[in-house]
C-alpha cells in the first residue's frame, strides 16, 4: 500500500462563513465548493499554500458534527507560516480567540494557538532555529523539570 495524500477534513457549523474566515484569517484560497439548494455546503476545498484542507457543513442526520456541537475538539492543526505574530493577529481580527499567545518555544519555533469561530484549534508558528531531536529532548526535559 502506498499513501498518495493526506487531507484534513473539517466539519463546521456554517461552512460558508468558515470559508470566508479561513480566507481572511489565513489567506486560504477557495478551490471549489458543492452547495445544496438549501445553501448547505456538502464539500469544499481550500488551498493553504499548496496544501488542501477540505470542509463541509454539519450533517447531524448522518452524525457528522463539528467541534461546537461536540463541545470541543481533540485535534489541533499546525499552520507553519512566515510570521506567526501577524497571522495570529489577523486571525483574531477575523474572529478567532487566542488560547496561547505567540512566544519563542524550546523546539525552535515562535508559535501560538487560536481557536477559530467554528471550534477548531490552530497552532500557528514560524521557524527560529534548527534543533536536533536530541537537543529538543534536552530542552523539553529541562522545561518539564522546572528549569
Q: Is pTM, for the whole model, over 0.85?
A: yes
**Per-residue pLDDT reduced to its tens digit, 49-74:** 999 999 999 999 999 999 999 999 99
CATH number of 8-144: 3.10.180.10
How far is Cα 120 from Cα 114, in angstroms, rounded to an integer? 8
Give residue limits of the domains in the chain: 8-144
Q: Is-contact 54 34, C-beta < 8 A? A: no
**Per-residue pLDDT reduced to its tens digit, 73-121:** 999 999 999 999 999 999 999 999 999 999 999 999 999 999 999 999 9
Amino acid at each position: 500500500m502506498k499513501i498518495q495524500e493526506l487531507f484534513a477534513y473539517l466539519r463546521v457549523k456554517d461552512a460558508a462563513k468558515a470559508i470566508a474566515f479561513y480566507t481572511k484569517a489565513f489567506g486560504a484560497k477557495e478551490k471549489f465548493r458543492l452547495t445544496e439548494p438549501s445553501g448547505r455546503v456538502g464539500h469544499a476545498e481550500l488551498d493553504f499554500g499548496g496544501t488542501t484542507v477540505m470542509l463541509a457543513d454539519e450533517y447531524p442526520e448522518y452524525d457528522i458534527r463539528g467541534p461546537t456541537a461536540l463541545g470541543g475538539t481533540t485535534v489541533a492543526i499546525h499552520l507553519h507560516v512566515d510570521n506567526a505574530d501577524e497571522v495570529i493577529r489577523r486571525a483574531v481580527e477575523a474572529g478567532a480567540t487566542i488560547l496561547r499567545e505567540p512566544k519563542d518555544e524550546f523546539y525552535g519555533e515562535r508559535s501560538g494557538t487560536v481557536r477559530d469561530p467554528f471550534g477548531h484549534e490552530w497552532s500557528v508558528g514560524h521557524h527560529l532555529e534548527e534543533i536536533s531531536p536530541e537537543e529538543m529532548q534536552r530542552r523539553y526535559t529541562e522545561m518539564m523539570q522546572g528549569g
